[in-house]
Structure 1
Amino acid sequence: MSEHPIILMRPGAANDRLADRLEAEGHEVWRWPAFTIDLPGAADAERVAKRLENLDDVEMVVLPSPASVAAVAHWVREWPEHVTLATVGEGTARVIRAAWGDDVKLLYPEGDAEHSGSEALWELVMARGAPSRVLFLRGQTGREWLPSQFRSIGSDVVTLCAYVRVPLELSSTDLRTLLLATVGPSPVVYITSTDAVDALMHAVRPVTGARSWLVRGTAITIHPRVVRRLEEAGFKKIVVTSTDDETVRRHILESLDDAS
């Protein structure tokens, strides 16, 4: 059994699926999803529900993350034929297909995480042509780059809060475990967004020395943008991976071997 904890920070079932496998192989896994997902407050939920009742004037709906898909599936059982869904990578595209079937119109950049993201999706939009009205369904915060790009080419853009992200907050048990761990080997951290980096650093603040212990470990991530944020946070050992569980698992195990 490795003495290096493995910290997994994805939200939802994907995190638990990978954690279950690593634990079955004898590894110490800390399930620390960077955010938990909930439906928005009553006012926002009413706005989303009302907007989704009639999509006759909407040409494209952008669902930027698996969390947005899970939230919107609460309201939408099927999409009108004239609506194209768009997302920023293959991972969320698979979640969209699972939610609404293979026949839904879907625009997304193919390939690994380095070739995905808002910029890659934008290249596809430019090749396709400007949609008349675009509906963004996302969390309470998000990058404004993509909505602003749509506006720059004349699309009418509507942005709604479809879910609320609640940042990681460590329990008293988690904090005690973390405190004891800071005198031992540093962890391998799988972390997939810039916001998750910030959530992690905020969550460990109550434990003296926890931040320096974390950044001595290895961070595994999926996109160059997250690499930059990890470097800013102080990580020196960073591995870029694709999003499928088997590849992530392989990189985690290789990082454990390298740290031993």
Structure 2
Amino acid sequence: MSVSTEFSMAVLTRPQGRNADLGGALLQRGWQVTECPALEIQPVILHDVQSLATPDSYDLVIFVSVPAVQAYHQHLSQMHPKYVWPKDTHIGCVGQASGQAIREAFGQDLSLFQPDKSADQDSESLWNKLIAHIDSIRRVLIVRGQDGRDWLASRLTEKGVKVDFYVAYCRNPATWSPKNIDMFKTWAQSAKYPVWLLTSAHAIKSSLAQFREHDLVQWAKKCCFILTHPRQETVLIQGLNKLTTCSRTEKSLSMPKILISRPLQEEILSNFEHFRDNHRID
């Protein structure tokens, strides 16, 4: 395989442990892969059974992410080691990875609402699945970090559904390692611009803070970014604009190149290859 030396650096920012499969696939395609988690994910410490919301109290439990599934499963196993998911409690999620994690944690024979693989992996697509069954859903538990899925909660509430939130994990900004900081500064000095994968608004904001702290904002504006939802583009562009001191004309000339990808590995890989094969930094 012929490999471009100008565009063969990938920076993966998913939390620790979530980059291995994609990183391996990129390495096979000749990419230099740097793992640089933007967020640190830690399950909430559960102290007593009274603080655990169990599925049997709800018609539907919605998991916002893979960490939500993993942390909630850990809590259930901690307080109820032999717990079996009740057959009358449905499960919802917005992504294919979350759906796989749900089945691995709670079993294959579950009633699972999730967007089709070909659809956007977001709250709107999940809502389109739920709306046909809304008359049978009276109580919903949304398992999440400190925040998230407020739009979906509002739609459910408008239909008369009682919505509770369960904070299963903490999501905190990560700090770049000294090794990665040195590497990014070397790339900046050498006018080398990697392709970044950012998969949430929280990850974008954390990365922006690191760009600012290490005086890498202007460099970042010449990098390329793969994002996993159209709304993330606004977060990234507005964040970079707030951090820069250049003129309006210079801002418009130096905005990063961005591709929007569904969070499916084959699609993300295709977008990495698109950047390498079709784009060059001026």
The correspondence of residues 1-260 of structure 1 with structure 2, limited to 5 A, is 2-4=5-7, 5-40=9-44, 42=45, 45-46=46-47, 50-52=51-53, 54-76=54-76, 78-112=84-118, 115-130=120-135, 131-183=137-189, 184-208=191-215, 210-234=216-240, 235-260=255-280
Q: Quick one: distance in 1 between partners of 2:11 and 2:49?
A: 34
CA gap of 1:142–1:48, structure 2 versus 1, over 3 A, is farther
**Structure 1 segments of 4 or more deviating over 6 A?**
none
Q: Give 1:27 shift.
A: 2.3
**Cα RMSD after superposing both structures:** 2.2
Please, what TM-score do these two structures have when normalized by structure 1? 0.87
Q: Quick one: distance in 2 between partners of 1:148 and 1:104?
A: 25
Farther off after superposition, 186-195 or 96-105: 96-105
Q: Deviations over 1:52-82 (max 9, x none)?
A: 4x44321111101111111112133531111
Q: Output the amino acid matched with 2:236.
A: L
- The structure whose Rg is larger is 2
Q: Quick one: distance in 1 between partners of 2:49 and 2:114?
A: 23
CA gap of 1:21–1:151, structure 2 versus 1, over 3 A, is same
Q: Quick one: distance in 2 between partners of 1:32 and 1:187?
A: 12
Q: Percent identical across equivalent pairs?
A: 27
Q: Give 1:49 shift.
A: 6.8
Q: Deviations over 1:168-223 (max 9, x none)?
A: 21122222222111122211111111221111101222222x12211212111221
Q: Quick one: distance in 2 between partners of 1:48 and 1:134?
A: 19
Q: Give 1:24 shift.
A: 4.5
Q: Give 1:139 shift.
A: 0.5
Q: Quick one: distance in 1 between partners of 2:47 and 2:195?
A: 41
Q: Quick one: distance in 2 between partners of 1:124 and 1:169?
A: 38
Aligned residues, how many? 254
Q: For the Cα contact (< 8 Å) 1:84–1:105, is it kept in 2? A: yes
Q: For the Cα contact (< 8 Å) 1:48–1:160, is it kept in 2? A: no
Q: Quick one: distance in 2 between partners of 1:240 and 1:181?
A: 24
Q: Quick one: distance in 1 between partners of 2:121 and 2:29?
A: 31
CA gap of 1:143–1:212, structure 2 versus 1, over 3 A, is farther
Gaps of 5+ in 1: none
Q: Give 1:243 shift.
A: 2.4
Q: Quick one: distance in 2 between partners of 1:31 and 1:99?
A: 26
Matched residue of 2:202: which SS? helix
Q: Output the amino acid matched with 2:47.
A: E
Q: Quick one: distance in 2 between partners of 1:50 and 1:222?
A: 33
